[in-house]
Amino acid sequence: MTALDDRPRTAEEPAPPSRPDLHARTAELLRLRQAVRGGPGAGATEAQRTRGKLTVHERLDLLFDDDTFVEIEGFRRHRASGFGLEDRRPHTDGVVTGWGRVHGRTVFAYAHDFRIFGGSLGESHAEKIHKIMDMAEAAGAPLVSLNDGAGARIQEGVSALAGYGGIFRRNVRASGVIPQISVMLGPCAGGATYSPALTDFVFMVRGISQMFITGPDVVEAVTGEKVSQEQLGGADLHAAVSGAASFAYDDEESCLEDVRHLLSLLPANNRELPPAVAPEDGLDGLDESLLDVVPADPHQPYDMREVIARLVDDSEFLEVHERWAPNLLCALARIDGRTVGLVANQPQHLAGVLDIEASHKGASFIQICDAFNIPLVTLVDVPGFLPGTQQEHSGIIRHGAKLLYAYCNATVPRIQVILRKAYGGAYIVMDSRSIGCDLSFAWPTNEIAVMGAEGAVNVIHRRAMAAAEDPEATRRVLTEEYRDALMHPYYAAERGLVDDVIDPRATRPVLAEALRVLRTKQEQLVPRKHGNPPM
């Protein structure tokens, strides 16, 4: 059979126009691909650098292992017309989507390109994000968003708003299924802020990233208050005051380096365990320094981070919400090569007391650990809940119940270590045996009671002290009697509420062995659609 172009022709019949061969088409493809990667032009790139920001591909190169990022829909363009868009149809439509490898494991990502329409979200832009989110969920791999966008694209109207709705719905659907990490590398305003708020971790960079529902101009118009973008929604504000940012950094490089580190501590999805890494330091021997870190006097403060550093592999841990609610520490680390979540009172701040923000912080962290099969180790040195009208009126009962609910609801291995004081309801809430921790250990300095000895004596022996010739001497005697009778180190162990009183120096090997035994823990849950936690 003769091909159409090879058939004999008459002299009058013109030859068909020549078409570029595959070599030429391939060369054209490579030129176009290079142009797409380069962005909208040198001027836009220079403007991005003037703002102190990296370009979208520079960021992706920092996030992923070398030469592993695969971009999809790079030639996508918007199809909107009118309002000045008909002659401006750049490739990518302002967002780069794809996947690559981080420490050798697959991770999906989308990254706004502020150089194109200010990274604003339109219909095609949103559809690209929807696709990569669906792929990440289906593949069971983490999703990282590099946010640098000006919000909804005004020229596309309600289509842009609907695009955000699709993102939010997918954020919720993937919640607890795959890790979702938001990295804020530019402005994020209005409804766009709810996607980061729905993810597991939020990273911000000082000076270039902001999040707020309404910008400074609107705030001034409505309230008369003059405030800068950084003061209203900058990294330090969200890291220390609002708690909306899990981490804050001085530059994009260190930020993305810690994103990679965080991913190395997390499983790919809720059906897997986090990757194990052999520790460089061994578990053998006793750590004598632990005897000097924690003072025996329950009123003397110390830095709980020093304890954590001695319990985890290579003294390395990643603290979440380091500057927000500092009276409670939450950190990811490894013990015996496997990821654990650490929740610990911090006596250096408010004596380690629990308050509204600490309760919220701890509950959120516990839920993340439970969703992704990360065992929980709770280090207890807590005097109680913070008293006062401000806490009561702001809902300490409701917020404190969040922490209680999160612990009771968690099915991962749970180990409690009581270092010093553990008083009242705060003792119960900090993963006590009574609410379901698997193993409870205590140091010989532990004091577990309804309240401190001094407060208890004031309640029980108020009349006796009032009638005594020397009330202060009587108080001291009665306090020591109460402490010796009900707060000695073995009181809880004698009643089965503590599994063992351990040598503080052996805490790390004790935890390693307990975690090894509990690694295959399984729980049978009552069938239900979902619980109804305090909100």
Active site residues: 190-191, 425-426
**Quick one: tokens of 294?**
């924690």
Closest by CA to 428, choosing from 365, 446, 436, is 436
**108 membership: H or E segment, kind and range:** strand 105-112
Backbone angles phi, psi at 414, to 5 degrees: -130, 125
Do residues 429 and 403 make contact, with C-beta atoms less than 8 angstroms apart? yes
Q: Which residue has the tokens 């509950």?
A: 363
- Report the distance separating Cα 57 and Cα 119, nearest Å: 14
3 state DSSP class of 335: strand
Burial class, 18, CB count within 10 angstroms (exposed 0-12 / middle 13-18 / buried 19+): exposed
- Report the distance separating Cα 465 and Cα 452, nearest Å: 17
Backbone angles phi, psi at 346, to 5 degrees: -115, 95
Q: How many residues does the chain have?
A: 535
Do residues 452 and 421 make contact, with C-beta atoms less than 8 angstroms apart? yes
Name the β-bridge partners of 248: 204
What is each CA distance from 444 to 419, 425, 529, in whole angstroms? 8, 21, 43
- Report the distance separating Cα 443 and Cα 264, nearest Å: 32
**Quick one: tokens of 440?**
């409870």
For 148, residues 6+ apart whose C-beta sits below 8 A from its C-beta are 53, 56, 111, 112, 113, 114, 119, 185, 186, 187
**Quick one: tokens of 458?**
């004031």
Bridge pairing between strands 180-184 and 201-205: parallel
Q: Which contacts qualify for 520-525: CB closer than 8 Å, 24 or more apart?
A: 521/411, 521/412, 521/413, 521/438, 523/411, 525/411
What angle separates helix 252-265 from helix 56-63, to the nearest 10 degrees?
40
Do residues 201 and 182 make contact, with C-beta atoms less than 8 angstroms apart? yes
User: 10 Å Cβ neighbour count for 286?
Assistant: 14
For 119, residues 6+ apart whose C-beta sits below 8 A from its C-beta are 94, 95, 112, 113, 148, 149, 150, 186
Helices (H) and strands (E) in the chain, counts: 21, 17
Do residues 357 and 324 make contact, with C-beta atoms less than 8 angstroms apart? yes
